[in-house]
Structure 1
């Protein structure tokens, strides 16, 4: 990999400012978001961008200060020397060569290596507040849409879901927006272009930004935690803590309005006994479709998440969510 970088950089490429490297396994890059992020940096300076593995032991075994190539890393250095024949990881060799040039590692959280197994819907539904830049190991995890087989899930992912949503608005892709319907005592958590969760109680954003641990460790589970480079929430049988899950289905633009709509349908019944209401009635069970309306304008700043308003009539099988910028002192709790 290091020689490949050197050969590429030694060639003359008019107008090229950055070199982006990724594994030849199943990796996906969201180029528009990458361009927007890199535009904030001076390409005449030395940078080594990447992200760590989500699995804490992978970073321990190799380095906490390297970009893992599956998720991709980005450089604008002029040379990278290979002087470490005893190292057996291309990512690690690249890192130590760059460090020897005096260049530090700059993490970009939107580069997702996905060093985990099983159902990653919990992670994708609580993506960090940063533009999505890449996804790796898509072929090694369980279907992203859990009720579909792998082939159908990948087709839906590529043609109808995230990749189609990306064509409309990459800046909001997987961005988590949380709002409350206090009349019903519900909390909605939107992962734009992927999923919507409804909780049967008011829950603060500080809790919901932690992914539900629907996934498993990359290799055999260590004897004791921590397992990941981020905090997680456990799966639970508490119906107040377990969301009703809806997955992305369709997307379009509103005629005569400066809005994009995305539609999400219920995955399956939650199937847990209610302990969130006194009379045992669960109006959330009636909801099977959610429509989210977002501005067409691309979000250029990520210093703060968006907020939203919910339109829902008790007993209705539909709910509407309208995204907007948060008010100055608005609290999502």
Structure 2
């Protein structure tokens, strides 16, 4: 059997390319590649020159401009807050004194919105100043209502405030004409949140009956609440239709909450907003303030004066004096003990001191004495926080001291002095008698740093100075940051 030439697949015409053909293919591929690069470059240049520019394509650096128009964003400060205050022509003449206690001319921004121009405004008192008033836009009367027509107008204050189109507004803060704000603390709260996002911040009622009647998840308007610019912008766009949907709600704050709920934004509750839905004496709440900055008071005309033997207005002035000396520290509790005498001390800085003639745990001391009743029914509760009844045994009741004066010490220190309140001498025990011998207490402290509330909160410690020696019926105490090994217990 004969054999033809051997068959090598590598030399088959289907797989083998002669050298001269390799050279020709390489030259052709190079020319094609150069041509493709040239066409692509020309196309890109033409695209840059003539194509409409997309807002998503940046060809040069553009400075960030926040929602309120600020081209240079900084840490939130009072200039970024716009207050919208709800009032009426009938109440403004008497209630505007509350605004004068916290308003800083040429610094604070905001408007009191009234139902009509007020009459017989008494401007003879030069100490009364505050925000300007304006009359609400008249179209609020066209909305449906059930039991409170004025609630519609007050709910639309956020719309009136937004429509002013003021520059650099990051936060809209709503409140009443009898709301007292502690603005530096308010700003410290708001500065923790990104104002470019949608935030709704405030507090609920102290009385459970009020929260059940309205809503636990709603910010009660008298205590004030804050709405960030983006949320306000969206809220204003749906507000009018939303108000008609919820015409059957009683208050303006409940209507605002319902509309914000439709946007899907929850309430961020902060314990420093105080609605004061209570009756009687607010002492128990103020002497046991949460470990949080004090932001606001409301309903001051409906509770006993904060300080005994003073009017409510003068009481707030005294508290404001301490607040301005050390804003983050106002009302903050500290506990310390005289173990030898078996005394417990509670200090609510800038307001009051209690000395108990027995040793009590911090758990008891931090729980508010119930010196008040519920808002609507004047009952003993329930409240949205724990309370403890005043001790029925006079020998276990504390001696009370109230702020008498505030002094600055150097650049970074303060000294507050507290004077014993008049008390009925109903207990004859030796320990109680020894407590009653202390007529004045001075408290020294360093100012809290401005960013104190931007960090994890912690109660500060106190210590009794001079080995507890009582000199001229006085005791000296120092409040300071707790040492690493130290706690506030007995």
Aligned to 1:189: 346
Corresponding residue of 2:433: 282
Aligned twin of 2:203: 51
Instruction: Specify which of 456, 464, 469 is matched with residue 310 of structure 1.
Output: 464
Residues 223-302 of structure 1 correspond to what in structure 2 (within 5 A)? 226-239=381-394, 241-255=396-410, 258-269=412-423, 271-274=425-428, 282-298=433-449, 299-300=452-453, 301=455
Whether the aligned pair in 2 keeps the contact of 1:186 and 1:200 (CA below 8 Å) is yes
Q: What is the match of residue 320 of structure 2?
A: 163
Say yes or no: does 1:210 pair with 2:210.
no
Summarize the alignment of residues 15-164 of structure 1 with structure 2, pairs less than 5 Å apart: 15-24=168-177, 26-76=178-228, 77=231, 78-80=233-235, 81=239, 82=243, 83-146=245-308, 148-149=309-310, 151=311, 153-158=312-317, 161-164=318-321
Q: Distance in 1 between matches of 2:179 and 2:475?
A: 35
Q: CA deviation at 1:206?
A: 1.1
Structure 1 unaligned runs (5+)?
none
The aligned length equals 321
Of Structure 1 and Structure 2, which has the larger fraction of its residues in helix?
2
Q: Per residue, is there more strand in 1 or in 2?
A: 1
Between the aligned partners of 2:383 and 2:349, the Cα distance in structure 1 is 24
Tell me which residue corresponds to 1:327: 483
Structural RMSD (CA): 1.8
Cα offsets for 1:110-157 (capped at 9, x unmatched): 0011111111111111111110000111111111113x15x3x42243
Matched, 1:13 2:166: yes
Note if contact 1:196-1:245 (Cα within 8 Å) is conserved in structure 2. yes
Cα deviation for residue 314 of structure 1 reads 5.0
* Structure 2 CA distance for aligned equivalents of residues 36 and 204 of structure 1: 31
CA-CA distance at 1:226 after TM superposition: 4.2
8 Å contact from structure 1 (residues 286, 315) kept in 2? no
Secondary structure (helix, strand or coil) at the match of 2:302 reads coil
List, as ranges, runs of 4+ consecutive aligned residues in structure 1 with deviation greater than 4 Å. Answer: none
CA gap of 1:292–1:315, structure 2 versus 1, over 3 A, is closer
Between the aligned partners of 2:197 and 2:426, the Cα distance in structure 1 is 55
CA 1:196–1:107 in structure 2 vs 1: closer, same or farther (change >3 Å)? same
For residues 35 and 20 of structure 1, do their structure 2 counterparts lie closer, same or farther at Cα, with a shift above 3 Å needed? same
SS across alignment from 2:221 = coil
Aligned mates of 2:248, 2:436 — CA distance in 1: 58
Match of 2:358 in 1: 201
Counterpart contact for 1:269–1:285, Cα < 8 Å: no
Query: Is 2:343 the counterpart of 1:180?
Result: no
Gaps in structure 2 of 5+ consecutive residues? 1-153
Which structure: larger Rg? 2
Could you tell me the TM-score, scaled by structure 2's length?
0.63
Is the Cα–Cα contact under 8 Å of residues 31 and 133 in structure 1 kept in the other structure? yes
Contact 1:283 1:315 in 2 (8 A): no
CA distance in structure 2 between the partners assigned to 1:187 and 1:297 by the alignment: 24
RCO (CA 8 Å, sep 6+): is it higher in 1 or 2?
Answer: 1
Distance 2:297 2:432 in 1: 40
TM-score, reference length from structure 1: 0.91
Q: CA deviation at 1:282?
A: 2.5
Alpha-carbon distance change, 293 to 18 in structure 1, aligned in 2, over 3 angstroms: same
